[in-house]
A and B are shown apart, each in its own frame.
Chain A
Amino acid sequence: MEHTAPPAWVMLAYLISGVFFILALRGLSSPATSQRGNRFGMAGMLIAVVTTLITHDVASLPEIIGAIAIGGGIGWVTARKIAMTDMPQLVAAFHSLVGMAAVLVAAAAFLNPGAFGIVGEDGFINPVSRVEMGLGIAIGAITFSGSVIAFLKLAGKMSGAPILLPLRHVINLGTLAAILGLIGYFTVDQSPWIFWTITALAFLIGFLLIIPIGGADMPVVVSMLNSYSGWAAAAMGFTLHNTAMIITGALVGSSGAILSYIMCKAMNRSFISVIAGGFGAEAAVSGGEAKEQRPWKRGSAEDAAYMMQQAESVIIVPGYGMAVAQAQHILREMADVLKKQGVSVKYAIHPVAGRMPGHMNVLLAEASVPYDEVFELEDINSEFAQADVAFIIGANDVVNPAAKTDKTSPIYGMPVFDVDKAKTVFFVKRSMGGVGYAGVDNDVFYMDQTMMLLADAKKMCEDIVKALQH
């Protein structure tokens, strides 16, 4: 069966859909244009779906409408109900669905290649299409099983600690080589066992790749899986000769790759070392015994309230602990009271704060913190030297000066906030016992100007607000 080229308007429609997706991402360059961008995205998707439905002989329209209604309903309700703090696991779950959809589409293309127009004159599937399908199903399967593990870890349904199998690097590399070898062999022999073995191995490798990676490396993992879901869509776009899918795949693939790069750079770690996994496992073991007792000062909510009222400028450094304690709303209230009393309040966000890129920004936005009070690392770091108070809430590694001075530290070289330059530091933390994700002690705890506020972040902010209003 020879594949006839679709009419020109169809090609144009898919091209427009692809361009709309570019505009959707372009809109995100500023919060002011972002909502319009999102609407471009929706329009692009509508064009792609409608074009596909009108240009194919649809034998089963009621079933298709039913499938869209069921899926769409589930998606819509989930999106309405989800708490902002649960966004990382929601994104991971969504990635797994894209991965599974890619697997199913590739499998359907293998079982019914005629419908996809990929059968050559000899009656077999075109060899190029076989490579594309093989890559599509492999990347899709990796995205699926990897995202499921990432979801379980982020949702706390599975321990966030790295799980290290013996010989895991050998197993992983062997499995990857087997997948690539089989995709190569698939071009000369299109036996079903090869196709299904590729699929099974890819599901396995996705699982193996993510289990050794610890909780706080999840920003990189989620971005990487985001990238994979794009490449899977692009591979299927090659199979279907579909411009919208190829453009989207390339956009999403680059987007995830760039986010992974930004995250790795913000931790001064190489992508390879993140993917190899196990970070934090060794440091946590050695950190336990070498701990000496050093003097530190405990502060109270009243101390914090008093000092911040006297201050001219306060910089708040939020971290994952704020998200866990759901303290963003009360934190904003605290900032509001201070602002009413004439104190300048700014927020400083580290690129890897939280469990996904931009996690803290979303939580602060949810708590109605205006986005022009929220600053990135390089824009605000010089201001700590003039700040009266640095208020650290639920962050730890991102303010650890060891990253600047201690060459033996696992976080050496990571860009950190210069909170040690602020006149007074308040460090909200649940207890002195816990160390940050990297498992290293933090000199900021023991500085003369530091007061430890040991409590749940939400409770502490509530107490400070009470004290401020006295």
Chain B
Amino acid sequence: MDFISILSIFVMACFVGYYVVWSVTPALHTPLMAVTNAISSVIIVGALIAAAAGGSPTAKWLGLIAVALASVNIFGGFAVTARMLAMYKKKER
């Protein structure tokens, strides 16, 4: 992919993000932060590439540490979001 296609995806995604986030109800702003935290750990993709590659042992170890850090976030972020969301209940009628 050339730089311009990537930039186009990025700009469009910013607009999507803008509208989607404004539609999030303020009551769920804390879960929003927790889940955005979890999904921003998609940086694990870069960490996996570094950890998987041969060539530079240092880069591999940096990658492995990054995989571990991102995993803390992925598991922790989704789990804590799920825990919070399960608490939001409607009035029993």
Among B22, B53, B67, residue most surrounded by chain A Cβ atoms (within 10 Å): B67
Least CB distance, B68 to chain A, in whole angstroms: 4
Complex partner residue of B14 from A57, A90, A250, CB under 8 angstroms: A250
Closest to A358 in B: B29
Closest to A5 in B: B1
- Taking a contact as CB atoms under 8 Å apart, the answer to whether A94 and B10 are in contact is no
Residues 5 to 34 of chain B near chain A (Cβ within 8 Å): 6, 9-11, 13-14, 16-18, 20-34
| A52 contacts B by Cβ under 8 Å | yes
Size of the B side of the interface (Cβ < 8 Å), in residues, is 82
Least CB distance, A374 to chain B, in whole angstroms: 6
Least CB distance, A435 to chain B, in whole angstroms: 27
Least CB distance, A304 to chain B, in whole angstroms: 24
Among A26, A71, A243, residue most surrounded by chain B Cβ atoms (within 10 Å): A71
- Taking a contact as CB atoms under 8 Å apart, the answer to whether A251 and B47 are in contact is no
- Taking a contact as CB atoms under 8 Å apart, the answer to whether A104 and B82 are in contact is no
Supposing A48-B42, A248-B42 touch, asked if A75 and B77 sit within 8 A by C-beta, the answer is yes
Cα distance A95–B90 in the bound complex, in angstroms? 31
Supposing A59-B53, A70-B71, A234-B10 touch, asked if A245 and B78 sit within 8 A by C-beta, the answer is no
- Taking a contact as CB atoms under 8 Å apart, the answer to whether A101 and B66 are in contact is yes
Cα distance A229–B82 in the bound complex, in angstroms? 21
User: What number of residue pairs across chains A and B have CB atoms under 8 A from each other?
Assistant: 387
Cα distance A359–B27 in the bound complex, in angstroms? 8
Interface residues of B, dominant DSSP: helix
Q: Please name all residues of chain B whose beta carbon is closer than 8 Å to the beta carbon of A32 when the two chains form the complex.
A: 90
Size of the A side of the interface (Cβ < 8 Å), in residues, is 118
Q: A5-B1, A358-B33, A372-B90 are in contact. List 16 more A-B contacts (CB 8 A).
A: A25-B24, A26-B23, A28-B31, A44-B42, A79-B75, A79-B76, A79-B83, A94-B37, A97-B41, A101-B70, A101-B73, A108-B47, A112-B53, A233-B42, A239-B46, A358-B32
**CB<8 Å pairs between A and B, sample of 14:** A21-B39, A26-B20, A31-B85, A45-B39, A45-B78, A56-B52, A78-B72, A90-B80, A101-B43, A102-B43, A104-B62, A108-B46, A233-B40, A239-B46
Which residue numbers of A lie inside 8 Å of B, CB to CB? 5, 11, 17-18, 21-22, 24-26, 28-32, 34-35, 37-38, 41-42, 44-45, 48-49, 52-53, 56-60, 63-64, 67-76, 78-80, 82, 84, 87, 90-91, 94-95, 97-98, 100-102, 104-105, 107-109, 111-112, 114-116, 128, 222-223, 226, 229-230, 232-234, 236-256, 258-259, 262, 349, 351, 356-359, 361-362, 365-366, 368, 370-374, 376
